[in-house]
Every structure is written in C-alpha cells, then in structure tokens.
Amino acid sequence: MTGELADHEERDLILSMRMDAMLNSSPASFLSIVGGLVAVYVYWAPSVAFGLIAWLACIVAVALTNLLSTLLYARGLPSGWNARSWARFVSVMHLLSGLAWGVGGGWMLSFANEHQALVTVSIGLAAVTVSIPSVVHLPAYNLFQLPIFWSYAVGALFSSLQYSWPIAIGFFLLGAFAIVIGRVLGYQLSTALRLSIENKRLAQHLEERSAALEAANRELEIESHTDPLTGLANRRRLMSFARAVRGRCAMMIVDIDHFKSYNDTYGHVEGDTCLVSVAKALLGSVRPEHDLVARLGGEEFAIVLSDVGAEEARARAEAIRANVQALPMSGPHRVRCRVTVSIGVSTRAADRPKSLSDLMEEADAAVYRAKSEGRNRVCFDNRPRAQDVA
C-alpha cells in the first residue's frame, strides 16, 4: 500500500507540473485572436460575414477563457480544484479550441481560393506549433491538433483547390503522425519530470542528512569539550581556552575539601549531586562571556579568569569560596552538609609572560598549600621563579 500511495502521489505531482507548464503558456492564446482577425480580413465577404463573425466570437471566447484560467490558476482558484480538476478543464478547453480552429478552418478551405487557402493553412499550422507545450499532457494535445488537421482534410476534399486530394491526404497524415510524435515527446517530457522529482527528493534527502550530520557533529563537538556529569568544560576545552587567553589573567584550582569522606558517608549518588551543586556555584561566580570553569576530574575544578589582576583575582576567589560554603542543604541541588573548597590562585601580568604550564603548576602548588594550612581558604603561590630573580 505504501508503494501504491507513493506512485499515486508521484502521478499527481507530475500532473501538477504538467498543468504548470500548460497554463503558464496560455498567454499565447492572445495570438489566436490575432490569427482570427487576419482570417476574417482575408475571407470577408457579405455572403459569409455572419459565419466569420460567429467563428471569430468562438475563437475570442476560448482565448479569453484560457487567459482567465491562467490568472485563476496562479491564485489557486477555484480553491477546491486539484491537478486532476485542472487537467479535465484544460482538456475540454483544448477540444473546444481545436474544434473552433478545425471546423472554422475546414469551412473556409471549402470555398477558399489559392491565396486564401495559403493564409488558412499558415494560421492553422501556426496554431498547432504554438500548442506544442501542451504535449506534456498528451490527451489535451491530441484533442487540439486532431480536429484541426482532420477538419482541414475534410475542408480540402470539398474545396475547388488544385490538388485538393493530395492536400487532404497530407492533413490526415499530419494528424496521424502528430499523435506518434506527441506520444514520443510526451514520454520524454514525462521522464524528464520524473527525473526532476527524483532529483528534488534526492536533494531534500541529502539536505536532511547533511543537517542531521551537522547536528551530530555539533553534539559530538560539545560532548568532546564537556564534562558529562556537571556540564562544565573538560580538560581539553580548558587547555584550548587558556592557550587562547592573551595578556593578564588568573588561573584557579578549586578542590572540594574532604570529598572522599563525603562520598563514603552519603554515597556516590549524593557525591555526584554535591559535584553538580559546586559546579553551579562556580559557574554562577564568573563572567560566562569572559571566563571559563572546567572540571579537571574527581572533586577538582579549574577556573580561568581573563583580563584580571592579582587583587581582583583574590577578591573573586574569596567570593567563589564563600558561594560554595553557602550552598543550601535543601532543594533539588542541596548538599547533605556544609561543603567548603580550597582554592589555589596563580596570576599573570601583562608585562610578565607566563606559560599555561607555569600557571597550572603555580595554582596546583597554591591549592596544596591551602589544604595544608587548614582548607576552606584561598592561597597564592608566592615562590620566586627563576625569571623573576634579577
């Protein structure tokens, strides 16, 4: 059933594309009015005046209807019509147009002189030529051109023209061969329409796959730089960010005090909750657009503050320590007991270049000293370095 439904949808889509091609070429109907006026001028005589006027009225009515249908189709009117409705309408209009041109032209040929016959044949062949775009919908094409060719054949038979029989046979054969040629062209155009549909589907599929792949790549990129538990940056992202920072900055190592005891007492689930709560407190204490908070592993975090001096770094570190100590012991991200952190800070001045490894080493030494001095404190590594000794 799914395959049949897909085939039905494809046929409707192809039919809709055919209607687009045919109705968009309807403005050529204006030429039929010009051709009708020329024919009336050439054949005008009091004895056939009524017939010529009636014929011209039919030509004009059909042409105006075709032009109006183009405007309605472009605006989606009537609203209840689909491609099949328009296909039936277009077939009827092609039949009426073909009959108007065929019967009128055959009637004119039946009493035409050689010069008038030349004009009639030229106009008829021009009408068939202009209608070639309708070959995309073969029924409509045949309903237009067959009445013209075969009515001209009958008109030639009853005319007084020299070689009327060969002319009649020629028109009859033209109609027959037009059917064959129209079938071949229609098949090729239908194949082209199907290929166009398949190409659009393939392009849409590729676009969807590309969007999905791009989304997956973004997700992988985020995952490759994110700690899965806390949502903070991981060590890889930290290193990348810290290397990109220029000028003065501060590096902090933040270690949760007595975390192993907390984990052993309350369990790993509560330990994870504690880590997430501390991570939120750290993240809420920095400038997201300028600074970075990362989890190094276990209960250890790192913070990079860009464009800060030593005094500001100390003040920010003290604020971070206080924020963690103030974590609530109720709510969805509560801690089971008071949690404190030891923070080691290393800074870099704008006029004293310092590598990332130096900053990390100094901050590590500072946090070790903070722990050794009683924890829940901020320490700077004040050891003189070789490049600082004059």
Helix (H, G, I), strand (E, B) or coil at 98: helix
Q: Hey, what are 107's tokens?
A: 């009637």
Instruction: Give residue 44's identity as a one-letter amino acid code.
Output: W
Catalytic site residue 299?
A: yes
Phi, psi torsion values for 331, nearest 5 degrees: 100, 180
Q: Where are the beta strands (DSSP E) in the chain?
A: 249-256, 292-297, 300-306, 341-348, 378-380
Q: Which residue has the tokens 């229609």?
A: 186
Q: Find the catalytic residue in 299, 300, 312, 361.
A: 299
Distances (CA, A) of 5 to 8, 12, 54, 310: 5, 11, 48, 72
Q: Which residue has the tokens 């605006």?
A: 75
**Cβ–Cβ < 8 Å for 69, 26:** yes
Widest distance between CA atoms in the chain:
126
Give the CA angle between residues 252, 257, 262 to the nearest 5°: 135
Alpha-carbon distance 50 to 376, whole Å? 112
Phi, psi torsion values for 29, nearest 5 degrees: -60, -25
Helix (H, G, I), strand (E, B) or coil at 130: helix
**From the DSSP assignment, how many helices (H) and strands (E) are in the chain?**
12, 5
Helices (H), 305-347: 310-325
* Residues catalogued as catalytic: 299
